[in-house]
Amino acid sequence: MAHSPQQPEPFTSKTTTAELEDLRTRLRRTRWPDAPEDCGWALGTDVDYLRELIDYWVEEFDWPAQEAALNALPRFRVPIGGLGIHFVHARAKSDTPALPVILNHGWPDSFWRYSKVVPLLTDPGAYGADPADAFDVIVPDVPGFGYSDRPAGDPLDSIAVAGLWAELMRVLGYERFGAAGGDIGSHVSRYLALNNPDRVVAVHRTDAGLPLYPGAPTDLSESEQTWVAGAVAWGQTEGAYAAMHRTKPQTVATGLNDSPAGLAAWIVEKLRSWSDCDGDVERAFTKDEMLTNITMYWLTQTIGSSMRMYRANSAIPSEQYARRVEVPSGFSLFAGDVVLPPRAWLQRTANVVRVTEPTRGGHFAPFEEPELYAQELRDFFRPYR
């Protein structure tokens, strides 16, 4: 039977032996930079740690096993807006209709961010939670990330991606759904709610993004002004990557797409800086977990296309940031995340019905603390089923 133009088709990623041999050859031939004695992570990625990670990548990391685990998830591809979109679509293990929820990732990741929480959300009863809290879970890769197509022309901004996801949910038969996300996925979730208030029953976010306020700074409360100042200070010490992504992404993409060691350095430094690991990245992620994320970037050659989304988002008109989300909104502000917003800002920008402050977890909370994150979603969305 012929497929309709928007018929999702099962997808399985398949890596060839030649691709893996090329990767290992490049890793073995890494030309290492010098580094000041005992600088550690102070100037960026610790070269000594990176050497250890690269050695593990070459000698011990089992990508076929990791790929098989990812392929155990129900993965699909479907054409939406002229692009092939990759997504996980896992239905609830429930006898009653479940609330569908679309989970939106950020950078530097993909559907990988939510790979641990899918079973916790679709089958809560198997993990000691209430079976009535089961979800149908949809986790798409943003175009230019993971296994979705890379846009051939201008990169898409978060508003455009939200439009694609509204159509994706319609293709999947969901007229009513919840949305959740963090990082870029927080913005995508916000625009889903702003532009589809008749379909999005509630929206959950793990951050409010960086403060972009189109009005006069003096209009902000004292706590908001303090937050803005803190965000500016964070940008001066931690924001060089974002400035590069916004302005000259192709320059750095050339190096990162050619050198797997360089790619690892670019991503691992952020996994460490933004997670709740107290400076030890392996408190938040195992080597296998980090390298699974990095290897996906390498094999799909999406580091450049993923960075270009920052450029697209930087061109979003300022009036978009003045819009208030009226859909019921919840925030889980994990203690180890960066630039935590005050409640005054949350209430200014959204119809806030719930704010929690989990004491563990950071920017990648769904991966760092999957059980805790899953419970946050169950608790928040329960009234909107």
Residues catalogued as catalytic: 183, 310, 363
**For residues 308 and 144, is the Cβ–Cβ distance under 8 A?**
yes
- Report the candidate in 334, 333, 355, 342 with the shortest Cα–Cα distance to residue 284: 334
**For residues 306 and 107, is the Cβ–Cβ distance under 8 A?**
yes
Q: Which tokens in the block code for residue 328?
A: 């019921």
**For residues 192 and 315, is the Cβ–Cβ distance under 8 A?**
no
